[in-house]
Amino acid sequence: MDLPLDSKMFHVHRSRDNKSAKEAKDMAGMTDCTMNDDKIYSASFILEKKESPVNPYNRVDWTKMCTKWTSSENEICVVNSLPQLDCNAFPKSYMDTCSCCPRDIFESNLDVMNESYRSAVVGKDEDCCKVKWEKKERYRKIKTKVVRAIKRHKIFLIRGELPKLKEALEKRGWVQKYEATKTRNLPYGSVASLEAKSLGDLTQSDGTLNERAIIFALLRHRSPDFIWDCRNDFVDWHRSLSSNTVLNRYQKPSVYTSKLGMARLLEDAHWLYEKDVSSVLFPRSYNLSREPKIFLEDFRLTAAAGLLKWFVEKMQGCCSEQSCCNLCGHRPILMNRLEFAMKRCEEFVACENHQNIDEDIVTEFTEEEWNSFLDDYMAAVHEGAGIEANEKYQDQIPKYVEMASSILAKMKEVDPQYELNGMRNMWILKPSELCCGNGISISHNLKDIFRKIKSRPKDYFIVQKYIEHPLLVHDTKFDIRQWFLVTNTFPLTIWIFKEGLLRFSSKPYTFSTYHEAIHICNTAIQEKYDEERRRRRKRGNPEEVVKTIRDQGWDCEKLNEYLKQNLGLSGEPYYDSIYPKMSEAIILTMLASQEHMDRRRCSFELYGADFMVMEDLSVWLIEINTNPRMHPPSSRNTKRLYSNVLESLVKVVMDVPLNPEADTGGFSLIYKQNIPDFRPYLGPCLFVFGKAITLVEHPRKRDKKKKNGWSKSQQQQQQQQQQQQQTQQQRAWTAPPMIPRLREPKIVDFIDYLNTARCTAAN
């Protein structure tokens, strides 16, 4: 007989073994205690489907969480059905109440589920006591786990798909709070609703309980203690987030992680340089919507230097005068273009050496002259044009080569990014706020660059100098994704993962085309061409039989061996040169960003820094990504690295605060800021005391006033004489430096204090 939900009576069935009344009383008391403990949960599960009108005078973007919310019929059914599992008292075994089940089958092990017997019983009678007992026993275990996690503050919420992070937290006794699919697309705490497609009914198709639906109902109004949000700016910082909630995000990270924001911060980063601690190499970047003139000057200068590099390279490749004379392309350029480029480069060197302080040595060229020069530059460098080979300049070519080489050597001394420039004047355009390689393009045409900038809103693009000569592995371009973790912003605490991810392009490196499969190493971009290559391979395309370098599973250890064998480098090139430079770049960038970072106590953040390595093993920071991709993996390497990073992150965030000696996995502490004790500055031990001075009126003005009949009274004249006498006796007192500073403010009589301190007097 089923009892009503609000009944306080408990029915205890007497077993076949004739249990005593005392045992029945103890069992009833135990059940009564259980029901008293569950009243809080049972009362909070009854939902009311009620429309709540919006206050027109207090409109908000997102509705707050509340206990009474417009819910779907499925949600109300799931949540309201939980008290049915809490009511009625059942003994430890269903055999004490079931008369239709053979006892001898389950006496050996009551916990073992006999699926064949269960299916037979359910098929005969769905209301069998065994099925009900199993449901309630399952519910009791789930509820016990949830209650234990609530008491220990171990409720976590993942807004995204990170199975490895979930697994690592559940190993430590954490319980996941679930969200419906549609609520994941809204800021956290804005709405609470259970969607039928996402969690389903309380009972699954096979008759077992839906654990996710039960946990959702139990934790419906419970705030999580740990939130991992896989989206940017998807947290309502001011309303729904408690100060004690651990969050994987700092507020407004785009100030220093967006491409434009990081470029602005690194403009003055040289003040934070410290040898072997913090240093960074960052390609120069411009916001053309705000500083087009500065970029235009840089573009023109880079083109001038590029033409000289091209000329020297071509001339050094010639073996005879005849070959020099035949150095002609489809449309040869004039030799005066070289003179134009030399003049501009010499002016740049003079300005960098501060030779333009006393006089202006910069020649003003017209826009027509610059446009004509840029057209000839692109014709020579990009279109294969040569230099005019007439008799007038034939004898002067060796002289021009010597002059150009000398100017380039001087530029190399004053320009820190000389090797970065190359000679093709290539620039990469990146959307400042986008990720995954979306919207990126490469160009060497000035008109094309400005056309793309004008087609978008202000502050949309950043223009960055493209690295033309990166380090290649088997003629393939690659970059390095280096993860690092910031657990505190003041003092700044940075952890770096010991292994980086090598991201290779799909095709050999070439300048013949600027295709993204060649020049952009982003995983999201290269995955498209990996899938296309697999489809061609299945069709039997002979070009796709040979595996590319992306299919060979390159890691940092393999790169280190390649540098030693193919480049002849000694020691451990990657671990001795590349890895330390990446650490120093991360430290300096975070120090430059510290002023803009949120100082929330219970926050941390995982970042992904992208680096490029040049042929001279110089390491250049390209960008820093907040919320780096950690799922799904695209290869065996990413599957291994993603898992290791997330497991190590949980160790640092969860284990180290409880035990400083705990294992940190793959993360190592590379920087912890030393913040000295703050002592207020009270100034030097100097006290200056003075008195107001009464100005004496000029005699001529006084005589004029007497003549005009505006003479002062006798009493005023006496007061003036007294003030003059006091002025003659004025002194400026100075306290000697031997008097110690007082940390605590005190009120004293300065005259008595000066007398007791034996101060010196200055007339």
Catalogue the E-assigned strands of 392-454.
427-431, 441-443
Side chain identity at 716, as an amino acid letter?
Answer: Q
**Average pLDDT along the chain, 763 residues, taken 10 residues at a time:** 38 41 45 45 43 40 39 52 56 50 48 46 51 81 93 93 94 89 62 47 75 87 90 67 88 85 91 94 94 95 96 75 47 85 94 80 86 94 81 80 95 94 95 88 96 92 95 95 96 96 94 94 87 66 65 91 92 95 97 91 94 96 93 90 97 94 96 80 67 70 57 64 61 47 48 52 40
The pLDDT of residue 356: 77
Contact 524, 436 (CB under 8 A): yes
The pLDDT of residue 206: 74
Q: How far is CA 471 from CA 509, 612, 712, in A?
A: 10, 8, 93
The pLDDT of residue 217: 85
Phi-psi region of 177 (alpha: psi -120 to 50; beta: other; left: phi over 0): beta
Q: 492-497 and 760-762 as β-strands: parallel, antiparallel, unpaired? A: unpaired
Angle, alpha carbons 155-160-163 (nearest 5°): 75
Angle, alpha carbons 30-32-36 (nearest 5°): 120
The pLDDT of residue 184: 62
User: For the chain, what's the residue count?
Assistant: 763
Give the three-class secondary structure for 717.
helix
Distance CA 159, CA 270 (A): 38
Side chain identity at 483, as an amino acid letter?
Answer: W
Name the token pair of 231: 């989206």
The pLDDT of residue 642: 96
Where are the CATH 3.30.470.20 domain residues in the chain? 254-282+470-672
Residue whose entry in the numeric block shows the structure tokens 């008195």: 691
Q: Taking the CB of residue 612, how many other CB atoms lie within 10 A of it?
A: 21
44: which DSSP letter? Answer: H
The pLDDT of residue 39: 44
Distance CA 67, CA 77 (A): 16
Burial 476-488 (b: 16+ CB within 10 A, else e): bbbbbbbbbbbbb
The pLDDT of residue 14: 38
Instruction: List the CATH code of the domain at 254-282+470-672.
Output: 3.30.470.20
